[in-house]
Structure 1
Amino acid sequence: MNQASSFAELVASRSPNLSRTEHRVARYFAENLHQILVHTAIELANAIGTSDASIIRTARALGFEGLDGMRRAIADEFSAQLTLPERLSRTILKNAGDLEQALEKTLTAQAEAISTLRSTLDAQSFRAIVHALTGAREIVVFGVGPTSAMTQYFCTQLGRLGLSGRALTSTGLSLADELLPLRAGDVVFIMAYSRVYRELSVLLNHAQALGLQTVLVTDSLERELAGRVTRVVTVPRGRADDFSLHSATLAFLETLLVGLATLMPEKTVASLDQLNRLRADLAGQAMTLPLTQSVTSDPRHGDTSP
């Protein structure tokens, strides 16, 4: 990135040659990289309290042809992020055993990420996504690596609402078997970050060939994939030093679940009633009784300990 190893270092190296306004804008850039990826020059100007011309001028003063060039450089930086063990090691070293510092940084980063989500997700987009999911034959949720845990969680909760959710979490050739059952009427819900890896590209191509609606949840791929998906929701991953946090993504998933339940209350209640009946059948008589000593010690109930 213009001989600098990071955007922050680039800003620091160019600061002596920037005007006062450019320095203020550049500092905002360095502290809000995700905002640059998702907002226009006018939106950034309004957030900073300057003009869109100052936004473009600052990008050029930093050595880029314009705002788009700066966005590409920032996206490339996200793509070259450290591995999880490396990020954890750096975070541990920075906190130097200070648990209060770790607590404050992490909670602040999570709050900021959710605050950003509130500013990037508008009611119209949210409504469109909820309606698309309720009308799907099947909701196919894609997420690999650490994101696969959220994928499974989201699918479980969709099932409890009476919707059909299926997780795509495989990589390599195994993904082909998970893609094969895709059919017309399905909605593909994708959580992907940093780069367009092969599995993601194949999924998008296959979904497009079937004419399926696609929803992309990402922190940095909005512009790169905008023409290949139906809708994009930018959900920032919070950062506590070098450790990525997913609290905003989980908040968005649970907001969708509440929206789905709000849109189809009768179906949701019927499904939850059925879930409770199945639980009662599995638990037997003990399901209706408190787990007291008299219950757990009674041989007629068997062992009801966890």
Structure 2
Amino acid sequence: MPTPENAQIADRFAELIRQSQDKLSPAEQRVVSFIDRNRAAALAQSASQLAADIGTSNATVVRAVQNLGFKGLAELRRLIATDIDRQPSSTENMRRTLAQVGESSELAATLVLESHLKALQALQEPDARTRLNQAVSCFASSERIVILGIGRAGPIASYVAVMFGRIGRRARAFTASGAGLADDLLDLRRGDVLVLLANGNPYKEAVTAIRQARLVGIQVVLVTESETSKIARRSDIVVPAPRGRTEHVSLHGTTMCVMEALVTGLAACDRDRTLLELDRFEDLRTQLGGRDYVE
């Protein structure tokens, strides 16, 4: 088995896990799976902290790390930190993904589906469910929901704003970048809640939006795969949304699932209001000629 220092593959940690499966006991597999799902968080946790989060012993964590081929947790952290710091481009990520699947469209589809399945399984964890519920409660007590999504997250933000509107909640999507976002941020007001769709290192739009939210005095809900980022530390509620395997093409299906879960959860908080607004929507759609448009 290659050592952590010289394993030259797209997702080195994932490959080490794959190669070591037969050596890992069920308890050790749980440890490795948890670290794999929470790589950024693992950088800041000791073996005893990981053991407490996973519900196992400190010795099991140490054995699991060593059976992956590392001398200790510090060596594992160096590998994960190196991968996170690299920040590969979209082209590099796609190149790695295509190198793994070759010319097989079936393998490519399987890779995407398995990545989403793994991400959705992570959302079944009690902590993730708790954060989802916290976000719904925050939305329920707000007067308006503002969703900030830049770049590829922009269409998701726009779609979710429409869905919140259909269940009777005032909502707006902020999708402008750079100086163009200034006019939008001026519209933030007390009674709003700001939802950020953001991953990775802080970018100026997110940082500025959080700063403006603090000036106005409103809560910030972050939907992200980077639960230990600087943006996460500045947010009130952090909802996990794993996007896919490290160093592979980024996937946004989980973000969409999380947001639709939040919309449906909010709808359930006030059933009568939701159904009344949907009846009004259907009536308006009928007046405008039925369903001759794309949903």
In 1, the alpha carbon distance for the partners of 2:82 and 2:197 equals: 19
Deviations 1:122-148 (A, max 9, x none): 444333211211221211101111111
Alignment partner of 1:217: what SS? strand
SS of the counterpart of 2:150?
A: coil
2:111 alignment partner in structure 1: 105
Distance 1:160 1:30, change over 3 A: closer
- CA-to-partner distance for each residue in 1:226-251, whole Å, 9 max, x for gaps? 44111111221123971121222111
Is the contact between residue 41 and residue 227 of structure 2 (CA under 8 Å) also seen in structure 1?
A: no
Asked whether the equivalents of residues 90 and 249 of structure 2 are also in contact (C-alpha less than 8 Å), the reply is yes
Q: Verify the 8 A CA contact 2:88 2:247 in the aligned structure 1.
A: no
Matches of residues 286-297 of structure 1 in structure 2 within 5 Å?
287=290
Which has the higher mean CA deviation after the structures are superposed, 135-144 or 24-33? 24-33
SS at match of 1:182: coil
Q: Distance in 2 between matches of 1:111 and 1:11?
A: 16
Q: Distance in 1 between matches of 2:54 and 2:293?
A: 58
2:280 counterpart of 1:274: yes
Does 2:270 correspond to 1:260? no
Q: Structure 1 residue 84: deviation in Å? A: 2.0
Q: Percent identity?
A: 30
CA distance, structure 2, for counterparts of residue 210 and residue 36 of structure 1 = 34
Confirm or deny: 8 A CA contact 1:110 1:238 kept in the other structure. Answer: yes
Q: Secondary structure at the match of 1:173?
A: helix
Q: Which amino acid aligns with 1:64?
A: A
Which structure 2 segments of 5+ residues have no match?
Answer: 17-22
What corresponds to 1:201 in structure 2?
207
Match of 2:252 in 1: 246
Shift of 1:178: 0.9
1:96 deviation in Å?
Answer: 1.5
How far apart, in 2, do the equivalents of 1:238 and 1:211 lie?
34
Specify the alignment match of 2:20 in structure 1.
none
Q: Please list, as runs of the form range in 1=range in 2, the aligned pairs for 1:181-200 lying within 5 A after superposition.
A: 181-200=187-206
Separation in structure 1 between the aligned mates of residue 210 and residue 218 of structure 2, nearest angstrom:
9
Q: CA RMSD in A?
A: 3.8
Matched-pair contact (CA < 8 Å) for 2:37–2:122: no
5+ long unaligned stretches in structure 1: 14-19, 289-303
Post-superposition Cα deviations, 1:258-287, rounded to whole Å, max 9, x if no partner, equal 11111111111111111112111211xxx3
Cα drift, residue 225 of structure 1: 3.5
- Paired residues in the alignment total 277
Rate the CA distance shift 1:109–1:10 in 2: closer, same or farther, 3 A: closer
Q: CA deviation at 1:38?
A: 4.1
Cα distance, 1:278–1:121 mapped onto 2, change above 3 Å: farther
SS in 2 for 1:239: coil
Aligned to 1:91: 97
Q: Which residue of 1 aligns with 2:177?
A: 171
Counterpart CA distance in 1 for 2:51 and 2:178 is: 43
Within a 5 Å distance, the mapping from 1:50-89 to structure 2 comes to 51-52=57-58, 55=61, 61-62=71-72, 64=74, 70=77, 74=80, 77-78=83-84, 80-89=86-95
TM-score normalised to the size of structure 2? 0.77
Q: Could you tell me which residue of structure 2 aligns to residue 293 of structure 1?
A: none
- CA shift for structure 1 position 64: 3.3
- Report the Cα distance in structure 2 between the residues aligned to 1:161 and 1:198, rounded to whole angstroms: 32
Following the alignment from structure 2 to structure 1, what is the Cα–Cα distance between the partners of residues 204 and 10? Answer: 27
Q: Distance in 1 between matches of 2:102 and 2:10?
A: 25
Select which of 35, 38, 43 maps to 1:35. Answer: 38
Residue from 218, 224, 228 that aligns with 2:224: 218
Secondary structure of the equivalent of 1:183? coil
Contact 2:10/2:247 (8 A) holds in 1: no
Question: Please, which of 167, 174, 181 is the counterpart of residue 161 of structure 1?
Answer: 167
Aligned-partner Cα distance in 1 for 2:29–2:102: 30
Q: Does structure 2 retain, via aligned residues, the 8 Å contact 1:222–1:234?
A: no
CA contact (8 A) 1:157 1:257 kept: yes
Q: Larger deviation: 152-161 or 115-124?
A: 115-124
CA distance change for structure 1 residues 265 and 48 in 2, over 3 Å: closer, same or farther? closer
2-structure distance, mates of 1:47, 1:63: 16
- Helix, strand or coil: the match of 2:38? helix
Say if 2:133 is the partner of 1:130.
Answer: no
Q: 1:168 to 1:127 in 2, by over 3 A?
A: same
